[in-house]
Amino acid sequence: STYENILLERHGRVGVITLNRPEALNALNDALMHDVVAAATSLDRDTRIGAIIITGSERAFAAGADIKEMAPQTYMDMYAADWFAGWADLAAVRTPVIAAVAGHALGGGCELAMLCDFILAADTAKFGQPEIKLGVIPGIGGSQRLTRAIGKAKAMEMILTGRTMGAEEAERCGLVARIVPAADLLADALATATAIASRSLPIALLAKEAVNAAFETTLAEGIRFERRLFHSTFATEDQKEGMAAFVEKRTPAFTNR
Ligand code: HXC
């Protein structure tokens, strides 16, 4: 691949992006951000790809934004470069994105995981927003996404104290979808992503769009939006195929039409 800070592989209809700066526990520097965003947007444009996994190493998903790169920056450097704004292009990816997290997911690492559609956590995963210890605050959406994920009390406590939480607490409070033994993390993430990618891609995109609307609008508007999207699924061949296959007791052959 042409990327220096990540590995990019395709397993059937699943794209796997592995953060690969082991010497810095996958700290998210500017170059790594550009690699992740470029790889994810290229997978998003590839209609053969039905799901994307973002993962790190056994030791660290990512230990945060790169502190050594940020340390000398001034306010005007940050403002002029609109530091971290590039991550918005990852949030805009339409294909389902799974974060498979083992080890440290701290600061920007936790924020990157939350930017994905859901998190599968190894039993070794540790989540936290320790920015306060460095004299800064979360800057890739952590104050917003953590609060929406786990509620005000826990988000405030995490962000004000900088403490980390383990996988069990993270599952209990709704930050992660599921805990998996560390040795099985990638296999489980691949099986999960493959299951998603085996269905109709356009219908998966509608489903993702509907869930995401819950974070952007009122309940009444969200339900109206969902119903319109639901009605629109009946304009697809995949709805005809999916329901016919159920009636005929066979596996559906979706065509993404
Ligand atoms: C740059 C980092 C790094 C980071 C680790 N490293 N985290 N480099 N940025 N965020 C580097 C270390 O300097 C070290 O390099 C190497 O990775 C291994 O790390 P160690 O500390 O030796 O490992 P260990 O003792 O196992 O401790 C792991 C750790 C610790 C607990 C995760 O590395 C740590 O606390 N890291 C920082 C976590 C953090 O504060 N993250 C939030 C960043 S701020 P050398 O060269 O010494 O071997 C952030 C803000 C986002 O994300 C938005 C607002 C600004």
Q: Kindly give the residue spans of alpha helices, DSSP state H, lying in the chain.
A: 30-45, 67-70, 75-81, 88-91, 108-115, 142-150, 152-161, 167-172, 185-197, 201-213, 219-232, 237-247
- Quick one: pLDDT at residue 104? 98
Residue 217: φ, ψ to 5°: -150, 180
pLDDT of residue 178: 98
pLDDT surpasses 70 at 187: yes
Q: Ligand 1: which residue has its CA nearest to atom 13?
A: 24
pLDDT of residue 1: 60
Is the Cβ atom of 140 under 6 angstroms away from ligand 1?
Answer: yes
For residue range 199-253, list pLDDT tens digits in order. Answer: 999 999 999 999 999 999 999 999 999 999 999 999 999 999 999 999 999 999 9
Task: Indicate the pLDDT class of residue 126, thresholds 50, 70 and 90.
Answer: very high
Q: Ligand 1 pocket test: which of 20, 25, 87 has the largest number of ligand atoms within 8 Å of its C-beta?
A: 25
pLDDT, tens digit, for every residue of 65-123?
999 999 999 999 999 999 999 999 999 999 999 999 999 999 999 999 999 999 999 99
- Whole-model pTM above 0.95? yes
ipTM: 0.96
